[in-house]
Structure 1
Amino acid sequence: MKIKFWGVRGSIASPGPQTVRYGGNTTCIEVRTDEDDIIILDAGTGIFPLSQSLMTRQPVHANIFITHSHWDHIQGLPFFIPNFVAGNVLRLHGAYDPVSGQGVEQVMSVQLQYSYFPVREAELRGRVEYVTLTPDESVRVGSATITPCLLNHPVINYGYRIESNGKSVFFTGDHEPPYNIYQPGDLEYAEYQHHVNDRDAAIVRGMQGVDVLIIDTSYTAAEYPSKIGWGHGTYASSFDYASRAGAKVLYCTHHEPTRSDDALEAVFRQALVEHPHATGLDIRLAVEGQVYEF
């Protein structure tokens, strides 16, 4: 199996001289099985260079799995080049939105309006298909089984476990560890804590034993208290998930967009010092353009 990172920044693209080493594009990850089945995780700005690479072999049959509908995870979709060429197929997978009452098709329909983009969906020459997913119900792409896992974010967010030929990857998209919204003295605290514990246990089961865990690691421990409820993880929470799940390799991604490459490396080093229990893990910072094969 091969993983390639095409976008590793969170929230907003941040190109420039301070981000050239780790990259400035927003989230997009390419996973290829040993049979060369292609699974694309999220469609941030990193999907544009990925789509250019796909055009060398046509027709393109792309399976894109959207974790959630926030801009930094879908904003590259209108620029997915195969959509503009007849004979190509984009199969877009994602969640049902209980607020709008629509499935994953709204991800495209909202963006491809003349108010926001010069080409409507009806004018695309490639074919777009939609698959609205249900938590814990697996789908197949070639030799791969992909299972969505409901995570914690201000909108519905799926993590995805990909399994093929005994190899496995789990990607969280955006995720903040579940937390108790009540104070310890509140009457509701104990009951809600059971809910938190159950959700957290289900998430760890979804990650259990994966070869590669790719996880939202936006904040430091010092930054997190002012970001509670924003839906993002920390170095501490990422290390903890990897340890409890028994992941072989942990990739920290969704890098804070205001953090330069130097600052990113500095907070990563500090996190390793602050969490010595993580030293037995293979922990890496995701780098745009990097390929990992196993």
Structure 2
Amino acid sequence: MKVKFWGVRGSIASPGPSTVRYGGNTTCIEVRTDNNELIIIDAGTGIFPLSQSLLCELPLTANVLISHSHWDHIQGLPFFIPNFIPGNTLRLHGAFDPVSGKGVEQVMSVQLQYSYFPVREAEMKARIEYITLTPNESFQIGSATITPYMMNHPVIDFGYRIEANGKSVFFTGDHEPPPNIYEPHDDEYAEYQSFVDAKTADILRAMANVDVLIADSSYTSAEYPAKKGWGHGTFDTSIQYAKEAGAKMLFCTHHEPTRSDDALEKVFEQVLHEHPRQPGDPQYRLAREGESYEF
């Protein structure tokens, strides 16, 4: 299996001289099975350069897994070049939104409104299909078994486990380890903590023994208190997940958009100093736009 990162920034695209090494595009990950089956996770601005690389493979069926519908994870979809070419199929997978009462089809319909984009969905030349997924219910894309899991974010958010030919990868989407919303002295604290513990156990089971864990690591532990409730993790929580789940490799992603490459490397160096690897621990890396990892 091979993973390639086409976008690793969070919240907003951040191109410029200070983000050249790790990249400024928002989330998009290409996964290839050993049978060369293509799976795309999220459709941030990184899906545009990915789509340029796919033009030599036409016609194609692009299976895109959407973690959630925040802009930085979907804003590249209208610019996915195969959509404009007859003979291609875009198969969009994602969650049902209980607030809007709509499935994953709203990801395209909202963006392709007259006020926001010059081309209507009906004018796209490719076939566009929508598949609304159910949490914990596996489905197949070729040789790959994919299971969506509910994560913790201010909107419905799926993490995805992809398994094929004995290999596995898990992507958290945007995820904040579920906190206890009560103070320890509150009467409700213990009861709510049991919910937090059960949810954490479910997430760790979903990640268990993966070859590659790709995790939202937006903040440092010092930054987190000011961002609590925003729906993002820290380097420390990602490392803890990787260790407890028995992952072999951790890629930290969703890099804070105001953090330069130099600053990103500096905070990551400090994190590694605070979490020295022990025998059997995962490998830790910063996700880098353009980087491929084969396993």
User: TM-score, length-normalised on structure 1?
Assistant: 0.99
Q: Secondary structure at the match of 1:174?
A: coil
What does residue 288 of structure 1 align with?
289
Aligned to 1:271: 271
The answer to whether the Cα contact below 8 Å between 1:94 and 1:103 also exists between their aligned partners in 2 is yes
| Cα offsets for 1:103-128 (capped at 9, x unmatched) | 00000000001100000111111010
- 1:146 positional shift: 0.5
What amino acid is the match of 2:13?
Answer: A
- Determine if the alignment matches structure 1 residue 242 to structure 2 residue 242: yes
Shift of 1:188: 1.1
Which amino acid in structure 2 is aligned with residue 9 of structure 1?
Answer: R
1:89 match: 89
Asked if structure 2 preserves the Cα contact closer than 8 Å seen for 1:239 and 1:278, the reply is no
Aligned partner letter, 1:102: K
Distance in structure 2 (CA, Å) of the matches to 1:79 and 1:241: 34
Which stretch of structure 1 is more off in the superposition, 181-190 or 40-49?
A: 181-190
Which residue of structure 1 lines up, in the alignment, with residue 7 of structure 2?
Answer: 7
Say whether the 8 Å CA contact 2:5–2:292 is kept in structure 1. Answer: yes
Shift of 1:278: 6.5
**Where do 1:21-36 residues align within 5 Å?**
21-36=21-36
Counterpart of 1:83 in structure 2: which amino acid? N
CA distance in 2, matches of 1:281, 1:82: 37
Whether contact under 8 Å (1:136, 1:149) holds in the other structure is: yes
Deviation at 1:281, TM superposition (A): 2.5
**Aligned partner letter, 2:243:** S
Could you tell me how far 1:207 is from its partner in structure 2? 0.2
Give the residue type in structure 1 aligned to 2:142: G
Percent sequence identity over matched residues?
A: 73
The superposition leaves residues 52-84 of structure 1 with CA deviations (integer Å, 9 ceiling, x where unpaired) of 111111111000000000000000000000000
| 1:184 and 2:162 aligned | no
Aligned residue for 1:125, secondary structure, equals coil
Contact 1:243 1:278 in 2 (8 A): no
Counterparts of 1:281 and 1:273, CA distance in 2? 15
- Measure the CA separation in 1 of the matches of 2:278 and 2:40: 29
What is the RMSD of the two structures over their aligned residues, measured on CA atoms? 0.9
In 2, Cα distance between equivalents of 1:147 and 1:23: 29
Pairs within 5 Å for 1:70-85: 70-85=70-85
Q: What is aligned with 1:172? A: 172
Question: How many angstroms apart in 1 are the aligned matches of 2:116 and 2:241?
Answer: 38
Q: Determine if the alignment matches structure 1 residue 41 to structure 2 residue 66.
A: no
Report the counterpart of residue 204 of structure 1 in structure 2: 204
Structure 1 unmatched ranges of 5 or more? none
Q: Is the 8 A contact 2:9 2:254 kept in 1?
A: yes
Report the AA paired with residue 158 of structure 1.
Answer: F
Gaps of 5+ in 2: none
Match status 1:108 vs 2:83: no
- Corresponding position: 1:137 with 2:122: no
Q: Distance in 2 between matches of 1:222 and 1:272?
A: 15
The residue type equivalent to 2:187 in the other structure is L
User: Displacement, 1:271?
Assistant: 0.8
Q: Per-residue deviation at 1:234?
A: 0.3
Question: In structure 2, what is the Cα distance between the partners aligned to 1:171 and 1:98?
Answer: 23
- Evaluate the alpha carbon distance shift between residue 76 and residue 286 of structure 1 in structure 2; reply closer, same or farther with a 3 A threshold: same
User: 2:16 corresponds to which residue?
Assistant: 16
The letter for the 2-side match of 1:171 is: F
Question: Residue 229 of structure 1 corresponds to which residue in structure 2?
Answer: 229
On the 8 A contact 2:246/2:282 being kept in 1, the answer is no
2:147 matched to which residue of 1?
147
Q: What is the CA distance between 1:277 and its match in structure 2?
A: 5.6
Q: Aligned partners of 1:121, 1:278: CA distance in 2, in Å?
A: 52
CA distance in 2, matches of 1:124, 1:250: 38
